[in-house]
Structure 1
Amino acid sequence: MIKLLTIIALASVACKLLAGRWPWEILSGDPRDRNEKKARSLLGLNADAGYEDVIEAHRRLIQKVHPDRGGTNEAVHEANAARDLLLARLSDRRGS
Structure 2
Amino acid sequence: MIKLLVLAIGLTFLCRWALGKWPWDYLRAPTTRSQAIFRARKLLNVSAKADHKDIREAHRRMAALAHPDRGGSKAQMQELNAARDLLLDDLPYEISEPPR
- What corresponds to 1:41 in structure 2? 42
- What corresponds to 1:70 in structure 2? 71
Q: Give the gaps of 5 or more residues in structure 2.
A: 1-26, 96-100
Structure 2: distance between partners of 1:51 and 1:37:
16
CA drift of 1:44 comes to 0.2
CA RMSD across the alignment: 1.7
3-state SS of the aligned residue for 2:48? coil
3-state SS of the aligned residue for 2:33? helix
How many residues end up aligned between the 2 structures? 68
Q: Give the alignment's TM-score, normalised by structure 2.
A: 0.64
- What corresponds to 2:57 in structure 1? 56
Structure 1: distance between partners of 2:40 and 2:62:
12
Q: Give the gaps of 5 or more residues in structure 1.
A: 1-25
CA drift of 1:29 comes to 1.3
Q: Which segments of structure 1 move beyond 3 Å, counting only runs of 4 or more?
A: none
CA drift of 1:48 comes to 0.2
CA drift of 1:91 comes to 2.7
CA drift of 1:28 comes to 1.5
More helix by share: 1
3-state SS of the aligned residue for 1:47? coil
